[in-house]
Amino acid sequence: MENQTATLAASFSDSFAEMLGFVAMGGPAMWAIAVLSVLTIALILWKVMRLLTFGAWSGGRHTARALDLWAAGQTDAAMAALHKRGSLRARLALAAMQAAMNPGLDQTGAEAETARVARGLLSRARTGLRGLELAATIGPLLGLLGTVTGMIAAFQALQEAGSRADPAALAGGIWEALLTTAAGMAVAIPASVALTWFESVVDGLRHDMEDSATRILHGARVAPGNAAPNAASPISVTRAAE
């Protein structure tokens, strides 16, 4: 057991040293890209956990059940079903129900209050997306910067060597310089994919929240047994949240 542990530790140490040597080939730009890659991975993992706590992939079963109770006129049961629920869908639906039941708010006021809550919830859902967008943008730029500075150094060494220049040494310098471009793209591609994915998830949440708010506020003044819903225009959470 001790031998296996020592072997794993030695293997990890060798791999880590090799990785550091690989990063050192690209110079300062490569170190900046390495730091950016660690931050990008951490941001992606944090964003996944954040959306999980917001119920992004829960399906909204509790909210759908509460909406059915609300449509049936069981307003107290509908709000009780959403009480202490942590998903964004449930929070928005509960806020819309409370606004609809508030005697001090008319239809316009209830819609404005619901839109205010929606903006806050969607802003929390979008937290971190700017960081991924920045990583996707500056990753290739850092790679290009490292390549340009590396090429400058390589050709400067070629000029100083004069007629004694070694083509192999020049090729090695160019190869090391191009490493930063590849590394920058390796950071930017996952960041771009994650950004697109998270934006689609947030758009799905926004659509569900808009649908819930419309169903609640459009029928907010319907008493149990009444046939016709309120004729007020449905709220657009999408426009309110932009």
The model's pLDDT over 2-38, given as tens digits with 9 standing for 90+, comes to 555 555 555 556 555 555 665 666 678 888 898 999 9
Instruction: Please give the torsion angle defined by the CA atoms of residues 77, 80, 81 and 86, in that order, rounded to the nearest 10 degrees.
Output: 160
Q: In whole angstroms, give the CA distance from residue 79 to residue 81.
A: 5
In a domain, 48, yes or no: no
Q: In whole angstroms, give the CA distance from residue 174 to residue 216.
A: 63
pLDDT number for residue 223 = 42
Distance between start and end Cα atoms, the chain: 58
pLDDT category, 165, cuts 50, 70, 90? low
In a domain, 6, yes or no: no
Q: Is the confidence at residue 123, as pLDDT, over 90?
A: yes
pLDDT number for residue 208 = 92
Helices (H) and strands (E) in the chain, counts: 9, 0
Whole-model pTM? 0.78
Mean pLDDT of 196-209: 94
In a domain, 126, yes or no: yes
In a domain, 5, yes or no: no
Segments forming the whole domain that contains residue 103: 27-38+59-241
In a domain, 47, yes or no: no
Task: Report how far apart, in Å, the C-alpha atoms of 181 and of each of 131, 168, 174, 185 are.
Answer: 20, 21, 11, 6
Domain count of the fold of the chain: 1
**Most confident segment among 37-41, 82-86, 106-110:** 37-41
In a domain, 105, yes or no: yes
In a domain, 32, yes or no: yes
In a domain, 51, yes or no: no
